[in-house]
Amino acid sequence: MPSALSLDLRQRVVACVEAGTSCRKAAARFGVGVASAIRWHARFRGEGQVAAKPVGGDRSSHGIEAHAALILQPYEARPDIFLRELHDQLRDRGIKTSLSGLSRFFARHGITRKKGRSTRPSRSART
């Protein structure tokens, strides 16, 4: 993904548009796309900013973090609960999430979901 254009360029384009030039002419003058000039100017009018918005990162965990107590409550009552069971319980309560979202939630909270060994050790190991 290409990097954002400089803040200086954005400010010059917006200042040119604010001075009365059309977005198309300002874009041609500074060698940027017309859509970019329109978006920058609209953002400047709406938010007062022309800086690039942050790219990447987590934008959805706040939704599941708001329900942390409801997620941790069944887990603490039954630590061996499967993610699918927990997901179904949350869905019944009206909380929309995914299995991978729950997995990332537990990872953020430092909770491991590994199960214990299901088979007993071999007899030859006992001496």
Which is nearest to 14 in space by CA: 41, 48, 38, 43? 41
CA trace torsion 43, 49, 54, 55 (10° rounding): 40
Tell if the pTM clears 0.75, that is, is over it. Answer: no
Per-position pLDDT tens, the chain of length 127: 578 899 999 999 999 999 999 999 999 999 999 999 999 999 999 999 999 988 877 777 888 888 898 889 888 898 888 889 999 999 998 888 889 889 889 988 888 866 666 666 667 765 5
Which is nearest to 23 in space by CA: 40, 44, 5? 40
The residue count of the chain comes to 127
Distance CA 125, CA 122 (A): 6
> Residue 109's Cα: distance from chain center in Å?
17
DSSP class of 68: H
Distance CA 76, CA 97 (A): 19
